[in-house]
Structures are given as structure tokens and as C-alpha cells.
Structure 1
């Protein structure tokens, strides 16, 4: 066997397995103790940079220090009018004013603009001295209960705000446990052995644990949003188990062919391990492509997820060979009788490949039309962060949103904060904004204590998720403010959301170019074929847009939304499709690498393209199906969490992996390769000379056959 770096690494870890295992145990314990013990706080504020909303927030922070913290809102509805229940409401306001980190509560009985025209609805802003993410959950829960307990007899009180949403629908939940259980079941079915099943699980746990601990420490340098560990954990669990699954499968094959355990380990790492390194590198590179978006939090999420994937990759090629050394020929111990039986018939995947290859045009056309049909809803995809109206209807956040939207209009949950260094300019713009179409009302202008800035709030007639709201913001910025003399910035969370969406639309083409270009380069290096690399990129794009279409149909159109845990139809969260793209492109390339690298092995041994595809599919279909099943279960498990955006990520990723492992890998790939014939392996001489050489894997046991096109 060629003694390349992968073989040498495998032999080293196999022979020094006790030291390798001890290093992993001690290292993981130290990293996790420090990482989880000194974790950095989350940062959930999207936007930033040089956007107008970011500059407005900086101005508010400098001149209105009391506005630095977030706000909660006590929503009030009284059937007989809020004046009739004043003692009850003021008692609750008094209780809430003593809540944790509350600096002030503005009573609607002192500010008439906080009472609706019909006198039955009102609200009381509650100013906090810190961001919602830093609020203690127990304290917010107590405040929610105080408002709810005071309701009744014609009076409804509810607390709203980001801190309330965080307290009522916390991240995490049972997803990791469910994903791990699904992986156990699928691996048992695939291997039929408890020991063989356990090795990928143990390897993935070490990789994910150290990766998540590293994320906690990295947050001190690059703050990340609170959902980062959930997303990184899901991706890490999916790829970590999958990577180990491919290596263990190849190890068992080598043992079945008569190899000694050390040779089988070297074979597994030099073939499947090499593919794992390329696949994992592709995922990391694709994720880091998000850095071109110039969004601080997206960059933090990308780095966090990349770190977790990197640690699972390192565990797969170092820890797993050591564990295989301990297992030796006992890899199939503790067999499950029903699951461990092997059939002597030709694999179904081999027979399926023959069916596709006999009718490649029909199969390829049907698969392409199906993907395009699934992608149609994506043409109407609309991006916006969700508001409290998309929360479960039994939550305080939804009740508060419903009260305010009914009494004041939906725009009261999406205020625009306008700020200026000139009080005169602020007054001029406020007067003009009050007569602007789409603006329901404008608050009086407030001057800062130092007299160097002024601000006011404009409430749009439409809500955060309404398609008309961005038009109002752009009208204010492009027309109203300049005509009134300029010098006023339009900010606030609503404007920040719009700025973020606009930035996504502007920079998305760059993300696509960077991710596709780098992935193409990695594929060229591994498979040394222009046709296969280009084919992989096109098919990956098809499966991604198909996943976008399904996501839009469920989330935005509401198809099966309630059944899948989405309380109401809502636009797609802006960062979700942006984040999905590099992940899916990387994962799709993973499956392409695992399949094509095996096909290439057969072809290099002398098999014709048709035979090589058939054998490659037969040898990888079972493991790719198992890997895809694990990922689908892991990703879809997040439908059980409360965070709407995280649900969208899980749904999109799960659907995309399912599409890729079935329609793409099992139909499109064999059909297109059959049609291309010898063109599959075309590589210009000049390109072959400049591409770096890759360590060749050991020869497969399959005998040579005559070359056929």
C-alpha cells in the first residue's frame, strides 16, 4: 500500500491508540471545563456595520443612555375602557416597576398617546437597563405571571418584548437527544452490531463537545447569537456521525476482504478518511464563505459552525482509528440478530443503477422537472424577521401583539426610531413624517439631556412582516428626510431588519460565487474531472433551490405549517436562506465526494464508466442512505424547539438532504454520468499539471474488467 500521509496517520493512531485516546479524553475534559465554565454572553443584534440603522443606534447610545437597554411592553385591553380599571392597572405597573433591571415604566394614564382612540386599549413601555439576551429568565417569567394573574373580569394584561419571547420559547430543548437517538437507530440498522454502532457515536460526541466548548470561548473575541450552539451542534452531530459511519463501513469491508485490523484501518483512512477530509474541508470552506457578507453575527455563526465541523473531522481521522485499534476484529460484537443478517442477492442499489442507466434521458428529465417544480415557490420568497404574531397563541408575547395590533394597528409592534444631532432637523422631519403615507402616528420630539441630539418614534400602519413596511422606510429615507432638510437617521429594530435584508440581497451573489468557486476547486483536486465537478455544482444548486421552494411553501404559504410547528404563515427569516446555502452546498458536495471517489476507484482499476458507476453506487448507496437518514432526523428534530428561525433552518436542511440523497444521488448522478460516458473523466493536460496531487488510495479488491465506454 502506498505509504502516504493518510496511511501514516492511520498507522500511528492505531499503534499508539492508548495515548491517542488518553489525549482526547484529557484534552476534551480541559477544553469543555474551561469553555463551558467561562462562556461568553450571546449577541442577538443583527445588522451593524455602516448601515443607517446602525449609525442611528450609535447616536442613541451616545446621547440617550437610558435608551441603551431594550424595552418590554405591557399591553392593556379593557372591555369597559382602560379608565374604568385604572386602580388595577396601576397596581400591576407598580409591581413591574420593581422588576429586575427595570429603570422606568411609562403609565398610559400620564401619556394620552398610549391610549387607543376608542379608549379600550393602552400600553405601558417598560425601559430596561440591559439587552433582552442578558435578562434573567426567572425574573421575566415572574413579570409575565404578574400581568397574567391580574387579568380577568373584562381586563386582559400581557407582556411583550424580545425578553418575553426568549423566556417563553427558549432555544435548545430535546433536539440533540432526539438526533442522537435517531443516529443510534439508523446505525444499528446499518451495522447490525452494538459495537460498530457505538464507535461513530463516541467519535461524534468528542468532536461536538470540544467544538461547542471552543465556540463558548470564541464568543469573547467574536460574539455570536444565542442560536449558534444549536445550529453548530446540529451540523456537527450530522457530519460527525456521517464521517465516522463512512470510515467504519470501509474498515468492515477491508476486514471482510481478509485484511488485518491495522491494514484495514489504514485502508479505511486512506480511502474513506481521505474523502472525509475533503468533504469536511468543503463544508468548512463553504461556511466561511459567509464572511463575504460583511455581517458580524453571520460571520460569528459561520466560524462557530466551522469550528464544530473541524473538530468532528479531526476526531474522525485520529480518535476513530484508535478506537478501531481497540475493536480489532471484534467490530461486529454484540450483534442484533434480526439486523445483522446479510442477503446474498445483488444489492438493490446495483439493480436500481441498471434501471436508470437503461433509460438515462427519461430518468434525468423526470428528476430535473421534479426539482424545478419543488423550486417554484422560492420565486415568491419574502425575507423578514418574524414578529410576536408568529408565536404560539397561548404565549404572553402573542397576546400582547394581538392587543396592540387590534387597538393601534399592526405598526405599533414595529416602531421606527428617528434620531438627529439637530433638534430643529428632527422637528422638521417629524412634521413631515406625520403626513407621510404609511405612517400612522408620530410621537413628540425628545431632546437629549446634553442638548446635542433629538429623537422621535414613527409608527407605520403595517407590521414588521408586511411587504409594505420596507417601502415606508425607504420613502422616509429617500424622500421625506431629504425634502425636510436632511440630517435625520431612520433606525430602530424594524429599520435594522430592513437594512439586514437589503444587505443580504446585495451580497448574496458574492456568496454564491465564492462558495461555488472554492467547492469546484476542491472537487477538481479530488476527482480530477472537469465534467464531474461542474455537474456536482449544478446539481447542488438544483437541490438547494428545491429546498428553498419547500421552505417557502411551508413557512410563507402555510402549507402543512401547523402540522410542522409553525403557528402562522410568516416570511422567511433573512439569515436562514443565506446560512442554508453554504451548509447545503457543502453537505451536497460531501455526498458527491463519497460516491464519486468510489466510482473513480473502480474506474482507475479498469472498469468502464457504466460498470464503475454501478459498483460505486452499490458500495455506497447503503451508507449514503444511512448517513442521509441520520442527517434528516437530526435536522428535523429542531421542529420541536420554539425558535421560529431555527425551525426554518432545520426544515430547510432536512428537506435538502432528503432530496439530495434520493433524487440527486440515486437518479440524476447515474443518469448524467451514463449520458456523458468518457467525458466524465476529461481533464485538460494543462489543468492536470497545475492541480496538486492527491495521495492515491489503496487498490480496491474488485477485479479488473475490460474497459467499456
Structure 2
């Protein structure tokens, strides 16, 4: 391998070192992945626990309860027995069914503390509650016999509606369905990705390289997550997000690199020259893109939320690991394989492709009429994004599961008949003593306020006191959107707030969601400002143009806005309910808009940096801006199409998972990537750059101190041998 005196930049120097020491680079990568995997198995990953979550008053209340030493409560289950005929019919049958149900539950394995039935105000429903013995966190593994018992009682009393819901049965439904979906996702995502790459490359070995890099990068980063979890505990869904992001960026980066190396060899460069050019161009794009994605993901730290912080750590690790592999082991593999990278050609797919006459013809039309093209593209994106004006958010709940699931139907029925039982609010009172005296007096006032709340608060009011007698948890039902505000702002201050030296805080599902939303609302300006500001600075330094940096940020916002609009149109307005198996709701999952913004902004930068680098490369060679745009987009269209198809396919698989949030994630990401790779990169970007012309490269004089970045590699001395025949070289995408 020749010396590296003409090779400039981190990416190129890393590639040349790896190519020169390819055995060491390949074995080092394997040792790194195996080593961190073994290490993670030894030290384990520290998972986040309940006390790590929570914000505001509800978070403080949960922490008080955790520290109060309450006995571990078994997972609670409910069985509703309902007569769905007229109010005056079926009472005796219901009593018979309740007696049968109670008797059988008491003899069912793992069932404890079966309570007498209570009756609903309308006299049509009865509720039997019980617990599942053992650790509540694993109760879903022991709730099966109870579900079987309820099913038998239902079969014996077919004229009544008898169904079970609760913590354990809900966890079982979510866990079983989600595990099946994730296993299916894991089994399909890699074959789907490989299949698309086989079509793109037309050769097995070159198609396997991106998949191998992505998988090993994900495995290695998951190993690193175990160590990082000592500083920031890992949310249980973080690994799935890492797989999603790792596959996306891993395949992208490999495609960029291999595509450029193949292009150079088709143009007559020898193996060394082709690798140097790929390293100094696509390798540099990978470096800049990776930094931009990492910056975007780091924005999640500003939420100060355990889940988002875990996502930030996981995605930063997987992107950084993928960049490391792309700049080291990938060029080493390309150097080692040589022409064998195109081994095992697929008949009919492995053929020489041109630069895309159809796309070049389309680009010629866009560049000939840039103003009309830009207006049409903006109009289409605005139409797709318009539903965003109606965007609302809500917390996750049982309704996010398939509406056809029996446990979901049971939950909804119980919630209608006994609203205090499904997701009650809990008032946590901490004082020197909550036994007798002032507490009992204020508890009586609290019950009176509940009765006089006009139906916003509903009983029965239940009280639990810790063994030390210093903390009480008072449960009450909430009815209506403003019930929580009434409880927090009026009822609690007027009752428990009068206990001297006491702390009275409201927690529960609704309170937790409200506090989470408040935390997100407070962090949104900081997250958006951080991500947009640093992305702008990275583009500014990379391309030495204020205009390019500004348009890059704006174009990425277009794709995010279009994704939001699509999500509202589907999940709030109820389109494709049957096909996607969900039920339209009043809003998107509360964490979805922020998470999608960060992920989409990061991933969109992959394409943007890659395309702009190729355009700037042509401009630096002396091409007019319009010609540089045509050449840059035309030459990158194939690889971007292939990368986008991979992303859309993998993201779309997430729409098959059972939770509404995962469906929203899959649809939002797939739609945004599709629009980004088509309307934005193929129409809006070239049209805007054509309209701006030389103004694209505007840099104020006071910014001339920014470093000069060469997008065109410096000329290298001849290889000393004849150029290879173009027909020997494989097409890519």
C-alpha cells in the first residue's frame, strides 16, 4: 500500500491504516464485539426501576411510597359480571354466576384474597377483585389459571358478560403480544434488509457486508450499554430502539461507502485510488453524518426523563459504534476482498446499470422549472402536514392495545361501571402520624368533598397506611378531563393540606401522565433549540455556507412536519384502522412527537450530508451550481433509493406490533423517510438550490476563519498499472 502523504482527514487516514493493517483491523473489530458482549454478560445491564421514572408531584409521591416500607401488594385482578339486558332482568342469574365465580376462584392456583362482589350504581354490573400470589412484577407468568377459571364461568353463564382484567392479565397480554411481535420483527427485519440489498447489489457478498456491519455494531453497542447503564439505567425498550437505529445507519453508511468505491472503479481507478476516494468522500460524509445524528440524539438528555435519557445513551452508542466500524473494518474488508466483494453474482440482478436515465430526465425537468417544482413540492408537503394543526397528545393506556383483545374490552367495561377501580388517583399523605387525630378528621372531610364533587370524583375511597404509620395512600376514582385538577387544586389542599407539617401529593396514572406532559412541554424549546442549533453549526462548518446550513435544517423540518401530519391523519382521524388493527384515539402517544423529531432529524441528515457532499464536490471541481446539483443528485440517487427502501421496509415492520405507540413509530418513520427520499431530495432540494444559484455558497467574511474542507480528494499519483476494465466491476444500487 502506498504512503498516505496525500491522504487527508480522519476518515481517509483511518481507512488507509485499516487497509494497510486489514488483518489487525478485522480481528480487532471481532475482538471488540465479542469482548464487550462477554463483559456485558458478566456485569449485566442495570435496568431502570419504578423509582427512576416519574416527574413533578407524582414522581415525588411515588418515591415517598417506595421509601415508606409498605408490604408488597399482590398484583390486583378484577372480574366484571354484567347483565347487558334491561336493568330489571337477570339479577338472580348474576348472583348465581358471582357465587360460582367466587367459589371457583378460591380454589384456583395462585389466586389470593378474593373479595366479596360490589355492585355498580346502575345495578347492572358486579365486580369481584382478587390478587395473584407472589412477586407482582412476575405475576403475568402465574395469572393463567385465573384466566382459565373466568373463561369456564363465562361459558357456563352465556347470557352474562363475564371477563377479567388487571395488572397481571394486562401485562400478560402486552408481554405475550409484544414478545411475539418483536420476535417476528427480529426474524423479518434482517432477511428483508438482505433481500433489498441483494436486489440493489446483484451479488451476495456485497449485500452481506452492510448487514454484517449493522448486526455486529448493534451487538457491540448493546454490550457497551451494560457499562453505560451504571451511569444511566436502561429502559427495557432501549435495545429495540438501538436495533431500529443501528440497522438504519449501518446499512446506510455501508451503502454510501461501497457505492462510491464501486463508482470509482467503474470509472477506471485502481483498487487503492478507489478506496482513497471513497474514504475521503463517503467516509467523510459518514463522519459528519454520524456526528450530526449523535448531536440530535443527545437532545434527549435535556428532557431529564429516564426513558429518553436511556434512548439517548443507546442510540449514541449504536451510531458511534457503526461509524467506527464503517471507517475501520469496512475499508479493511473491501481491501481484503478486492473483486471478490462481487462474488456469487445473481443472474438477472448483477448487471451494469447506468446513472439512471429516468431520474436524470426528471431532474432535468425540475432544474429547468425550479420555481414551479419547488412550489408543487412545498404544496404537497404542506397538504400532507396540514393535519398537524390538530395534533394532540395523550398518555399510554389499555386503549393502546388492539380493541379486539378480550382484556381490553374487559378494562373498558370495568372503567364505565367502576371508574375508581381501573386507574384511580392516589393521594399520598406523609406526616408524623396518619393514624387518628387530624388525619381521620381530614379524611372524613375528603370523603365529604368526594361525595359533593358533582361526579368528578367517585368512591369508594380506600386507604392504605404503612407499618410506621407515617404515610397513607388514599385512592379515589376520577371521572372527566378536569377531575385531576379539581382533586389537586381544590380537594386535597382543602382537606389533607390542613394537616400540620404534612405533605400531600397526588399520583396515579392520570397524574403521572399530566406531570410527564408538563416535563416534556418544559423541555421542548431546549431540545428543539439544541438539535437545530448544533445541526446548523455542523452543516455550516462542513460546507462553509450559511445558506446550505439553513436550507438543510428547513428541509429536515419539512419531513418531520409531514410525518406529524401523516400520524394525525391515520391515528387521530382513524384511517386504515382495520388494516393496522388499532382504534383511533383523541391524540398521539405523548412521547411520540419529541422522539420522532429527534430520530427523524438525525436520520434525515444521513441523506442530506451525503447528497450535499457530492454536490459540493462537483462545485469544488468548477462545475456551475445547477450542473453540480444534477450530477450530485443523479449519482447518489441509486444508493439513496436503496437505503430508503431498507429503512421504509424495516420501519414499516414496527407498524405490525400490537401497541399503538409502536404502530405510530413505524408509520411515522416510514412515511417520513419515504417523503424525504422522494419529494424533498429529488424535487425540493434541487429546485431550491437551482433557484439560489451561487448564493448557495454564501459565507459572510467574518466567518472566513472556519476551516477549509476539501470535498474533492487531492489527486494521487498513478497506480503504476493499467486501469481495470469497467465490465469487471459491479454495479451498486
Question: TM-score scaled by structure 1?
Answer: 0.90
CA distance in 1, matches of 2:667, 2:380: 19
Q: Residues 182-221 of structure 1 correspond to what in structure 2 (within 5 A)?
A: 182-221=192-231
Measure the CA separation in 1 of the matches of 2:451 and 2:133. 28
Between 1:663-672 and 1:395-404, the stretch displaced more is 395-404
Match of 1:329 in 2: 339
Q: Which runs of 5+ in 1 are unaligned?
A: 463-467, 702-709
| Distance in 1 of aligned mates of 2:315 and 2:377 | 31
1:93 aligns with 2:101: no
Distance 1:140 1:319 in 2: 49
- The structure-2 alpha-carbon separation of the partners of 1:83 and 1:619, relative to structure 1 and needing over 3 Å to count, comes to same
Worse-matched range after superposition: 475-484 or 190-199: 475-484
Please list the CA deviations of residues 9-28 of structure 1 after superposition, one character each: whole Å capped at 9, or x if unmatched.
Answer: 11111121112111222221
TM-superposed CA distance for 1:224, in Å, is 2.5
Q: Which secondary structure state, in structure 2, belongs to the residue aligned with residue 386 of structure 1?
A: coil
Question: How far does residue 63 in structure 1 lie from its aligned partner after superposition?
Answer: 3.1
Would the aligned equivalents of 1:72 and 1:163 in 2 still touch at CA under 8 Å? Answer: no
SS at match of 1:534: helix
Query: What's the counterpart of residue 74 of structure 1?
Result: 78
Residue in 1 aligned with 2:28?
Answer: 23
Q: Which of 74, 95, 98 is equivalent to 1:83?
A: 95
Find the residue that maps to 1:552 and give its secondary structure. helix
Higher alpha-carbon deviation: 450-459 or 72-81: 72-81
Give the 5 Å matches for 1:266-345: 266-343=276-353
CA distance in 2, matches of 1:333, 1:169: 41
- Whole-angstrom distance in 1 between the partners of 2:240 and 2:207: 24
C-alpha displacement at 1:442, in angstroms?
A: 4.3
| Aligned counterpart, 1:473 | 484
Q: Distance in 1 between matches of 2:307 and 2:133?
A: 23
CA distance in 2: counterparts of 1:168 and 1:88, whole angstroms: 29
- Gap change, CA 1:216 and 1:166, over 3 Å in 2: farther
Aligned position for 2:154: 151
**Post-superposition shift, 1:524?**
0.8
Instruction: Tell whether the 8 Å contact from 1:47 to 1:500 is kept in structure 2 after alignment.
Output: no
Q: Does 1:358 align with 2:373?
A: no
Residue of structure 1 aligned with 2:126, choices 121, 131, 135 = 121
SS of 1:314's equivalent in the other structure is helix
Contiguous gaps of at least 5 residues in structure 2: 1-5, 84-89, 432-438, 498-502, 717-733
Look up the match of 2:538. Answer: 522
Cα gap change, 1:346 to 1:293, in 2 (>3 Å): closer
Deviation of the 1:451 alpha carbon: 2.3
In structure 2, the CA distance between the partners of 1:427 and 1:278, relative to structure 1 (3 Å rule), is farther
Quote the residue 1:421 is aligned against.
Answer: 430
Report the TM-score, using the length of structure 2 for normalisation: 0.87
**Aligned-residue offset at 1:351:** 1.8
Judged with a 3 Å threshold, the aligned counterparts in structure 2 of structure 1 residues 242 and 131 are, in CA distance, closer, same or farther, namely farther
Alignment partner, residue 665 of structure 2: 649
Deviation at 1:291, TM superposition (A): 0.7
Say which is worse superposed, 256-265 or 214-223, in terms of deviation. Answer: 214-223
Instruction: Note if 1:509 corresponds to 2:519.
Output: no
Give the CA deviation at 1:116. 5.6
Contact 1:364 1:668 in 2 (8 A): yes
Q: Point out the more displaced range, 339-348 or 173-182.
A: 339-348
Partner SS, residue 73 of structure 1: strand
How far 1:45 moved relative to its partner?
4.8
Moved more, 558-567 or 77-86: 77-86
Compare 364-373 and 662-671 and name the one that shifted more.
364-373
Structure 2 counterpart SS, 1:170 = helix
C-alpha distance in 2, partners of 1:246/1:594? 8
Decide whether the 8 Å contact of 1:375 with 1:546 is kept in 2: yes
Cα displacement (A) at 1:245: 0.7
Match of 1:565 in 2: 581
Give the Cα–Cα distance (whole angstroms) in 1 for the partners of residues 604 and 715 of structure 2.
25
Q: Are positions 1:668 and 2:673 aligned together? A: no
Q: Structure 1 CA distance, aligned partners of 2:74 and 2:107?
A: 19
Work out the number of aligned pairs and report it: 682
Structural RMSD (CA): 2.6
Q: From the superposition, tell whether residues 676 and 11 of structure 1 become closer, same or farther in structure 2 (CA, over 3 Å).
A: same
Match of 2:721?
none
Greater CA drift, 209-218 or 250-259: 209-218
Q: 1:78 to 1:6 in 2, by over 3 A?
A: closer
Match of 1:698 among 713, 717, 730: 713
Confirm or deny that 1:408 pairs with 2:408. no
Check 1:472–1:26 CA distance in 2 against 1; reply closer, same or farther (3 A cut). Answer: same
Q: Is the 8 A contact 1:39 1:219 kept in 2?
A: no
The 8 Å contact of residues 375 and 550 in structure 1, kept in 2 or not, is answered as yes
What is the match of residue 707 of structure 1?
Answer: none
Tell me if the contact between 2:75 and 2:139 (Cα under 8 Å) persists in the aligned partners.
no
Larger Rg: 2
- Map Cα deviations across residues 97-152 of structure 1 (whole Å, 9 max, x no partner): 726xxxx535134xx4x7565153204152776564xx165334454344334432
Q: Is residue 108 of structure 1 aligned with residue 124 of structure 2?
A: no
Q: 1:518: how far off?
A: 0.8
Q: Contact 2:132–2:139 (CA<8 Å) still a contact in 1?
A: no
The 2-side partners of 1:344 and 1:52 are apart by 63
SS at structure 2 position matched to 1:441: strand
Query: Relative to 1, partners in 2 of residues 1:292 and 1:554: Cα closer, same or farther, differing over 3 Å?
Result: same
CA distance in 2, matches of 1:534, 1:697: 23
Gap change, CA 1:73 and 1:319, over 3 Å in 2: same
Please say if residues 419 and 426 of structure 1, whose CA atoms lie closer than 8 Å, have aligned partners that are also in contact: no
Aligned counterparts of 2:712 and 2:649: Cα–Cα separation in 1: 32
Structure 1 window deviating more from structure 2 (50-59 vs 387-396): it is 387-396
Quick check: 2:289–2:609 contact (8 Å CA) kept in 1? yes
Report the Cα distance in structure 1 between the residues aligned to 2:298 and 2:462, rounded to whole angstroms: 45
Query: 2: CA distance between counterparts of 1:346 and 1:164?
Result: 51
